[in-house]
Amino acid sequence: MRAWAPAKVNLFLEALGRRADGYHDLATLMVAVSLYDTLDFREVSGSSRAGEVRLECDWPELSTGPDNLVYRAAELVRRVAGVKVGAHITLRKRIPLAAGLAGGSSDAAATLAGLNRLWRLGWGPAELARLGAELGSDVPFFFFTPAAWCTGRGEVVQPLPLGKPLDLVLTGPPVGLATKDVVRALTVPSVPRDGAEMCRAVQAGDLPEVGRLLFNRLQAPAEGLCPAVARLHARLADLGPLGALMSGSGSTVFALCRGPAQAQSIARALRSQREDGGLARVSVVRSCD
């Protein structure tokens, strides 16, 4: 079984307040995009490792033990379903780490979905999303793509239709940002910004309006921690897209383009430029269908 795990971007992200459990209540509009990790699943039975989860990854810096979300997702499925056989999972990473693109959360969601199908468990999206919320705030979103308005910690998901496909250029510095560091530097506003206009613009396919309304409350604290985010954001804005924004807690920034031709043009302009001693990451993507 092979699963494709898409990245996501946040078109809107507001912090509403700190919760008693230490998290923040958020309001965010997320869109899945065509930058994918892939996961291959194989059932393991009839051997000395029949009851184990084994995870391999082509990024040596990423742990493949019990602290990995893919590993945790597989063990959660086995425990809840009472499955006795094991699984061999091969993860091929293309979504950068600590980039605000929810690669780990998407991989976890793909693991829940992949093993649900491999082991014929018959769980629907709502059940998979409930399990996903035990693993991370962004995991439930990936069962309701391509776009959704998410509240609570991010785990309360209201799917939204996309009126038009979104063509985007993603870029980021060679270094990532830890969400906990960005959130620690966050100042929650006394009057939160309302995202209702953004939801309407996305559903109507009004791309210029979507570009005008792009907003991320975490961008200012992220730029304070990593000035390269601010430089890349300014560079993108200077290239004339409909809008530019940081995704999630960073360090990825993206440009919303008028179409595929402008996306390719902006990507070419970025690929030859260096950032803090290394080439900036650049990907041309489209919202998932």
Report the alpha-carbon distance of residue 15 to residue 25 in Å, rounded.
6
Determine which one of 8, 37, 107, 167 is catalytic: 8
Contact partners, residue 223, CB within 8 Å, separation at least 6: 229, 230, 233, 246
Report the alpha-carbon distance of residue 33 to residue 162 in Å, rounded.
12
Active site residue 93: no
pLDDT at 48 exceeding the cut of 60: no
Tabulate helix, strand, coil % of the chain (nearest 5): 35, 30, 35
pLDDT confidence tier of residue 275, bands split at 50, 70 and 90: low
Report the alpha-carbon distance of residue 119 to residue 44 in Å, rounded.
11
Q: Mean pLDDT of all residues in the chain?
A: 94
Across 208-214, average pLDDT: 98
Determine which one of 37, 107, 138, 167 is catalytic: 138
Q: All domains of the chain, ordered by start, with CATH?
A: 2-159 (3.30.230.10), 161-286 (3.30.70.890)
Report the alpha-carbon distance of residue 267 to residue 272 in Å, rounded.
9
Taking the mean position of all CA atoms in its chain, how far away is CA 206? 23
Query: Contact, 196 vs 203, CB < 8 A?
Result: no
Report the alpha-carbon distance of residue 288 to residue 157 in Å, rounded.
17
Active site residue 8: yes
Report the alpha-carbon distance of residue 62 to residue 57 in Å, rounded.
7
Cα distances (angstroms) measured from residue 255 to each of 23, 70, 148, 156, 217: 29, 30, 19, 27, 17
pLDDT digits (tens, 9 = 90+) for 152-164: 989 999 999 999 9
Report the alpha-carbon distance of residue 209 to residue 104 in Å, rounded.
31
Q: For 62, phi and psi rounded to 5 degrees? A: -95, 125
Report whether the peptide linkage leading into residue 221 is cis, meaning its omega lies within 30 degrees of zero: no
Cβ atoms within 10 Å, residue 289? 9
pLDDT above 90: percentage of residues in the chain: 86
The pLDDT score that the predictor gives to residue 225 is 96
pLDDT confidence tier of residue 279, bands split at 50, 70 and 90: low
What residues does 256 pair with on adjacent strands? 168, 243
Contact partners, residue 8, CB within 8 Å, separation at least 6: 30, 31, 32, 33, 101, 102, 106, 138, 141, 142, 247, 248
pLDDT at 17 exceeding the cut of 90: no
pLDDT at 107 exceeding the cut of 80: yes
pLDDT confidence tier of residue 182, bands split at 50, 70 and 90: very high
The pLDDT score that the predictor gives to residue 24 is 80
Report the alpha-carbon distance of residue 273 to residue 259 in Å, rounded.
23
The pLDDT score that the predictor gives to residue 214 is 98
pLDDT confidence tier of residue 46, bands split at 50, 70 and 90: low
Cβ atoms within 10 Å, residue 7? 28
Q: For 23, phi and psi rounded to 5 degrees? A: -80, 175
